[in-house]
Amino acid sequence: MNITYSDKLLDYLKRKGISNLHISLAETAVEAGYCEVLVEPMTESQIDDHRNEKYRYIHTIPGGDALGGNIYVTSRGIHFDDDVHFDLKSFLGIRHVTAKGVHAFKLR
């Protein structure tokens, strides 16, 4: 898998002192509804909290030299393409991390 990051995202994470990303499925109120992949920065204390939860699924993907940390996947059912790109977007001053090449598992 080839993982790349935008310069904007790397600068933002460096300013915040964060070197890890967290990928999970967004929870919805509708059982059969479409699931969205949620990508967010993850601090060291949050990693410890996730590891301390009993029966918590955690898959660790090395983030590479550019990120300087890891990518933690805490939901089953997430599919990664061969090329994955993370970027930082902003809407009305609210920043969020986006990912191309990361999808929620769907039956076809």
Per-residue confidence in pLDDT tens, the chain, 108 aa = 899 999 999 999 999 999 999 998 876 655 555 567 888 888 888 888 877 776 577 888 999 899 999 999 988 888 899 999 999 998 888 888 999 999 887 655
Q: What are phi and psi of 97, to 5 degrees?
A: -90, 135
pLDDT of residue 27: 65
Segments making up each domain of the chain, as ranges = 2-104
Q: Which two tokens stand for residue 2?
A: 């080839």
40 to 14, 32, 86, 105: CA distances (angstroms): 14, 24, 10, 19
Of 46, 47, 40, 24, give the one whose Cα is nearest residue 86: 40
Of 64, 10, 75, 62, give the one whose Cα is nearest residue 41: 10
pLDDT of residue 106: 61
pLDDT of residue 20: 92
* Correct CATH for 2-104 of 2.30.110, 2.60.300, 3.40.630, 1.20.120: 2.60.300
pLDDT of residue 30: 56
pLDDT of residue 21: 93
Note if the pTM is more than 0.85.
no
pLDDT of residue 82: 93
Give the torsion sign (CA, 94, 74, 53, 47). negative
